[in-house]
Amino acid sequence: MDIAIRCRDLRKVYEGKPPVEAVRGLDLEVRTGECFGILGPNGAGKTTTVEILEGILQATGGEVEVLGLRWGRNDRALRERIGVSLQETRLADKLTVEETLELFGSFYKKGRPAAEVMAEVGLTEKRKSWVVKLSGGQRQRLAVACALVSDPDLLFLDEPTTGLDPQSRRQIWDLVRDLRRRGRTILLTTHYMDEAERLCDRVAVVDYGRVIALGTPSELIASLKGEHVVEFAVNGDGRMPAPQTLLDLPSVRSVRPESDGILLTVGEPHVAIPALLDRLGREGKTLSRLVTRHAGLEDVFVALTGRHLRDE
């Protein structure tokens, strides 16, 4: 299988007082043709990692190979073959969509015509609009379009939907899925678990500059040994059942106390829930809340770190 990105023991320390260790020995392998996600909370080192892979930052240590080439030796050739959308880039306000894309296209030997790229991201109608007049979602699609003008073998999308409204997020997702379907290799970072679940073939969960879990979204969720989550709370203060006493309920795999209730991962909700209700009834407790849902990457992150993705 072809490997698009390989990095071993990647390290990055930002000098300062005190120095900040943003990446602490990160290993990664992205296969050609897959959409690979780096999922982690803000400050986990995602952007630093991606900017090293994009050749913008220099690593403090470790080995990086992108499309079989190395930064520092084949820079120009590499830049011709990648497409980059940085986190929160504000393109020139008073150039039109078309002018922006023509400019970016001119930097590449095989730059694509602006019209083709505009059609691909659905901005043809806006071709004569100044960037400053575009909505947040349209600007983000233009940023992705700027990454696509090079017809890249490898596409980097850093936090492509951060700060967008739900409809714009869905448009970006459709765009990424479309690119994926047409065989492009994509590396995207996100701190939204739903985004990673929907878009990525494989996900690396990153925390404090290291990969703490790696696999397909379903593998990661399966690692919880329970595909469902049951959250509940009881009426009255301080009368929650002791968490560990719930572990012996049938089909319950793990128990976590939360600030506003208790969270169980279970294999079969239809077995676990009646048993739970029965137990609460015998103890004279009444439910104030009961929610069941499929487990997600958020639950994987919580199980691994004890924190939520968006606690920060």
Closer to another protein by CB, 113 or 281: give it.
113
Share of the chain residues as helix, strand and coil, in percent rounded to the nearest 5: 35, 30, 35
* Structure-token pair, residue 149: 């003008």
Packed helices 114-121 and 166-181: angle between N→C axes, nearest 10 degrees: 120
Contacts of 278 (CB under 8 A, 6+ apart): none
Stretch 44-73 residues interacting with another protein (CB under 8 A): 51, 54-57
CB of 94 to another protein, least distance (A): 4
Does residue 231 interact with another protein by CB under 8 A? no
Contact 215, 203 (CB under 8 A): yes
Closer to another protein by CB, 58 or 218: give it.
58
Among 17, 73, 94, 182, which residue interacts with another protein (rule: CB under 8 A)? Answer: 94
**What is the per-residue binding string for another protein in 270-309, x denoting contact by CB under 8 A?**
----------------------------------------
CB-side neighbour CA atoms (13 Å) of 11: 11
The interface region with another protein, picked from 95-103, 160-168, 185-193, 255-263 by CB under 8 A, is: 95-103
Stretch 111-170 residues interacting with another protein (CB under 8 A): 111, 113-114, 130, 146, 150
Does residue 89 interact with another protein by CB under 8 A? yes
Which residues are 308's β-sheet partners? none
CB of 111 to another protein, least distance (A): 6
Among 27, 29, 65, 99, which residue interacts with another protein (rule: CB under 8 A)? Answer: 99
Contacts of 158 (CB under 8 A, 6+ apart): 46, 47, 50, 51, 85, 86, 87, 188, 189
Spatial separation of the C-alpha atoms in residues 172 and 169, rounded to whole Å: 5
Contacts of 282 (CB under 8 A, 6+ apart): none
CB of 65 to another protein, least distance (A): 18
Closer to another protein by CB, 79 or 177: give it.
79
Question: 189: closest CA among 175, 174, 204?
Answer: 204
**What is the per-residue binding string for another protein in 9-48, x denoting contact by CB under 8 A?**
----------------------------------------
Instruction: Name the site residues for another protein (rule: CB under 8 A).
Output: 51, 54-57, 76, 79-80, 82, 84, 86-95, 99, 102-111, 113-114, 130, 146, 150
